[in-house]
Structure 1
Amino acid sequence: MKKVYRLLCILHAFVGVGAMFGGFAAITNPQNPAGATVDLLKNSPFSNFFIPGILLFTVIGLGNVITTFLFRFKLRFQGYISSIFSWALVIWIVVQCIMINSVHFLHIIYFIIGVIEAILSIIVLFEKRLFPTNLIIDFYKKIKKQKDDCNV
């Protein structure tokens, strides 16, 4: 379980720091952040990268960095916190691909990272037996008990 926590911590830190840099670039230069042109936004509701930059910096960046620091405390609800920001990353990537009407190599990488974070978060939820995993475990135990009763 220690490896799961360590990997989640590393992935959240990687995503968070990268998103903070990308978000900061978009906030400080909303017309041309890190070489991206506003032409990419022609299918989106945005005329420049300022609002997406704020969202990237705060939700994806700060959210993942804070999640990284919260792993030090091994909170009971860490699986939920990690899951929220994992799915936020996945949703961010999907929406971004839709808005720019294109998929790039980095989109695929970050999408996979988000899915891996989500899976690891579910493992944490199972380990702590939190909702909804507690229902799944209870259901499995009932089925197993019924099966064992039938075999007797």
Structure 2
Amino acid sequence: MKRLYSVLFALHLFVGIGAMAGGLAAILNPQEPLGAPIELLQNSPFNNFLIPGIILFTVIGLGNVISAIILGLRFKFQGYVSVVFSGALVIWIIVQCIMINSIVFLHVLFFIIGLTQSVLSALIIFEQRLFPSKLILNFYNRLR
């Protein structure tokens, strides 16, 4: 289990720091962050990258960094925090692909990272026997 915690911690830090950097770039230069043309947003409700940048910086970036810190400190409900921000990453990628009407390698990579984080977070919840793991395990035992 120690390896599970280490991998999840590293993934949260990697995603968090990267998202904070990307979000900050979009906040500072909402017309063309990191060379992304404004035309990417033509199928979205946004005129520029400011609002997506704020969401990326706070929810995905800070959320994943906070998840890493909570994971490192081994708080009791760390699995819940981790699964929330892992799910947020998966949703972010899906919505982003829909809005820009495109899928590139980085979308696939971060989608897989988000799913991996979610599975590892669920394993932590099961290891700690937190809700809903007891219900699921009881149901499974009744089926056997």
Q: Give the equivalent residue in structure 1 for 2:109.
A: 109
Alignment RMSD, CA only? 0.8
Distance 2:70 2:128 in 1: 16
Q: Are the equivalent residues in 1 in contact too, given 2:16–2:65 (CA < 8 A)?
A: yes
TM-score normalised over the length of structure 1:
0.92
Distance 1:125 1:25 in 2: 35
Alignment gaps of 5+ in structure 1: 145-152
- The structure that has the greater radius of gyration is 1
Q: Give the equivalent residue in structure 1 for 2:34.
A: 34
SS at 2:102 equivalent: coil
The offset of 1:133, in angstroms, is 1.3
Distance 2:78 2:24 in 1: 27
Q: How does 1:72-87 map to 2 (within 5 A)?
A: 72-87=72-87
- CA distances 1:49-105 after superposition (whole Å, capped 9, x unpaired): 000000000000000001111112211111110000000000000000000000010
Distance 1:43 1:51 in 2: 15
Instruction: Provide runs of 4+ in structure 1 moved above 6 Å.
Output: none
Code of the residue aligned with 1:33 in structure 2: it is: P
Q: Give the equivalent residue in structure 2 for 1:49.
A: 49
SS at 1:57 equivalent: helix
The offset of 1:140, in angstroms, is 2.1
SS at 1:102 equivalent: coil
Sequence identity percentage: 60
Distance 1:70 1:84 in 2: 13
> How many residues are aligned here?
144
- CA distances 1:11-65 after superposition (whole Å, capped 9, x unpaired): 0000000000000000000000000011000000000000000000000000000
The offset of 1:142, in angstroms, is 2.9
Q: Give the equivalent residue in structure 2 for 1:20.
A: 20
